[in-house]
Amino acid sequence: MKKLKIAKRAREPLAAKVAPVVTPLPLNIPQLIDHTLLRPDATKADIERLCREARQFRFYSVCVNPTWVSLARRLLGRSVVKVCCVTGFPLGAHLPETKAAEARAAIRQGAKEIDVVINIGALKSGDDALVLRDIRSVVEACRDGSAKCKVILETSLLTNEEKGRACKLAVKARADFVKTSTGFSPGGATVEDVALMSRIVRDRKLGVKASGGIRTLADLRRMVQAGATRIGTSSGIKILQEAAGESVGSEVTTH
């Protein structure tokens, strides 16, 4: 009996060192997603379908070009889905005043979030003062209209040093988010870029929007794990279908 007790006590410290199994909290996937349609050939029927889908699946927002903001707002009515509008899109080479005017017009028509492309050429030229003025002009328009401002860096065209500098300028301009990409350049969001951006802005309470090339549930999870707090994608329904399939599979396995 004594030997058994001694053996049991000897095992107890080892058992105490075993780490508990932690089950990750489930993601509220619809509320991560800006349901996006920015193609230049998008029609009224396409926007109507986008808004129907957003209402049905309760996505956070629809993200559209300026010409569709008023229609999207009417179609969404009193639903919880917000309207997000791009400005200075997709090149970012507009004058700051032009971007600000575009943002103000979109907000008047019902946009609650503005995704603005920075002046990429100015950033790469080292003209941080112009980039700051560029971002700040739109941030001020958003503040005046009670809207949020997301700053699109177009990361595939930047070095890591330039990405870091752009993030710091967005923080200085008091933007609400930094965003990876327009989806119209050679590359989209990467885990490495999202992680870099998150490290710079998270302590200043800015969000990170990953956008460009996110087409699967696995893509979304990787971006969130890297630090993304919003996802821009046109594949939101497909991602939800994948998530639903996983849930069903899990239920079958446990029974």
pLDDT grade for 66, boundaries at 50, 70 and 90: very high
Residue 204, domain CATH: 3.20.20.70
pLDDT at 246: 78
Structure tokens at 111: 């946009």
**Residue with structure tokens 């209402």?**
55
Q: Which pLDDT tens digit goes with each residue over 49-59?
A: 999 999 999 99
Sign, CA torsion 148/153/155/156? positive
Question: 188: number of CA atoms within 13 Å, CB side?
Answer: 15
3 belongs to a structural domain = no
254 belongs to a structural domain = no
pLDDT at 177: 98
In 3D space, the residue among 231, 184, 179, 224 whose CA is nearest the CA of residue 201 turns out to be 179
Number of folded domains that form the chain: 1
Q: What is the mean pLDDT of residues 222-237?
A: 98
Task: Name beta bridge partners: 116.
Answer: 87, 151
144 belongs to a structural domain = yes
133 belongs to a structural domain = yes
Structure tokens at 22: 């932690």
pLDDT at 14: 36
Task: Name beta bridge partners: 250.
Answer: none
10 belongs to a structural domain = no
Three-state DSSP class for residue 100: helix
Please pick, among 115, 176, 193, 219, the residue that the annotation labels catalytic.
115
pLDDT at 16: 37
pLDDT at 218: 97
Which range of residues forms the domain containing residue 126? 28-245
CA distances, 58 to each of 35, 55, 132, 174 (Å): 10, 5, 34, 28
Three-state DSSP class for residue 83: strand
Please pick, among 82, 99, 148, 179, the residue that the annotation labels catalytic.
179
78 belongs to a structural domain = yes
Dmax (CA) for the chain in angstroms is 86
Q: At what angle do helices 96-108 and 128-144 cross, to 10 degrees?
A: 20
69 belongs to a structural domain = yes
Q: Which pLDDT tens digit goes with each residue over 7-31?
A: 444 444 433 333 333 334 478 999 9
Q: Is 179 tagged catalytic?
A: yes
pLDDT at 3: 46
Which residues fall within 8 angstroms of residue 94, CB to CB, at 6 or more apart? 87, 88, 102
Q: Is 209 tagged catalytic?
A: yes
41 belongs to a structural domain = yes
pLDDT higher than threshold 50 for residue 46: yes
Residue 211: CB atoms within 10 A of its CB come to 26
Q: Which pLDDT tens digit goes with each residue over 119-170?
A: 999 999 999 999 999 999 999 999 999 999 999 999 999 999 999 999 999 9
The structure's pTM equals 0.87
